[in-house]
Amino acid sequence: MNFKIIEFKEIDSTNDYLKNNFPYLDEGTVIVTKYQTKGRGRLTRSWLDSKNNNLTFSILLNPEISNPNLSKLTLMTCASIFDVLSKKVENIKIKWPNDILIDNKKICGILTESIFEGNQLKCVIIGIGINVNSKKFPKEIVSRATSLYQATKKHFDLEELLQAVLTSFSKHYQMFLQDKHSYIDVCRLNSPFIGTMVKVLINEEIKMVKIIDILDNGNLLINDDNQLREIISGEITLI
């Protein structure tokens, strides 16, 4: 895949930039910034950023499929980032559907969005936030967030890291387009929750369920009160 990187010193949100400009941009356009003023996360959360320390970027895709499975694209992205970060730091895990954790704290979040006109898929936007060189975090997230720096006490070059992630992403995206599921295996093998009981928020109810597997379609298989249930992302929050 040919990437075209466009860098902004500061921007509201790299996902929003692609949402507003995708008709004029090619597949593989990457919007990257050193500072987002209105970074967004899943479930209408915000993504807090500290200036110049972290990697925040979005990739524009035009997959020629009518019904994109966003969960699979998010997991494909998780695997791409996992492959890069796991060479730099230990104890790194994937938390379905869109997080990468070190010692149970979030180092990376992914926000996958799609734009349709009627039934026609116009584009998919994959937004990625990786906490790289942040030494500390705002108090709202300090107990839940970590960075590569905090985990290793080393400083990382943001451009090198971006290139490594894009190379890995390109490899896994080819697999996705060929309907091969090696990236799901990366997620399965590195997900700490599989086979364990976890507290979840499901249909506005907090309960304990057993996580059985991540399926090839990207959904989560759980055992809920002795019933196997397939869950799509957005239906459940692992607490």
Give the interface with ligand BTN as residue ranges (CB under 6 A).
13-15, 36, 39-42, 45, 47, 56-58, 98-99, 109-111, 127-129
Instruction: Tell me how far, at minimum, the Cβ of 111 lies from ligand BTN, in Å.
Output: 4
Query: How many of the other CB atoms lie within 10 Å of CB of 98?
Result: 21
AA letter at 183: Y
Mark 110-131 as b/e (b = at least 16 C-beta within 10 Å).
bbbbbeeeeeebebbbbbbbbb
Q: Which is nearer to ligand BTN, 33 or 150 (CB)?
A: 33
Q: Which is nearer to ligand BTN, 35 or 226 (CB)?
A: 35
Instruction: Tell me how far, at minimum, the Cβ of 68 lies from ligand BTN, in Å.
Output: 18
Query: How many of the other CB atoms lie within 10 Å of CB of 206?
Result: 10
The CA-atom distances, in angstroms, between 6 and each of 94, 105, 168 are 28, 30, 19
Query: How many of the other CB atoms lie within 10 Å of CB of 182?
Result: 13
Q: Which is nearer to ligand BTN, 57 or 82 (CB)?
A: 57
Q: Which is nearer to ligand BTN, 18 or 209 (CB)?
A: 18
Asked if the bond preceding 97 is cis, omega within 30° of 0, the reply is yes
Instruction: Tell me how far, at minimum, the Cβ of 66 lies from ligand BTN, in Å.
Output: 25
Chain centre to alpha carbon of residue 55: 13
Position closest to ligand BTN via CB = 109
Q: Which is nearer to ligand BTN, 32 or 89 (CB)?
A: 32
Instruction: Tell me how far, at minimum, the Cβ of 17 lies from ligand BTN, in Å.
Output: 8
Instruction: Tell me how far, at minimum, the Cβ of 239 lies from ligand BTN, in Å.
Output: 15
172 is written with which tokens?
Answer: 């896994």
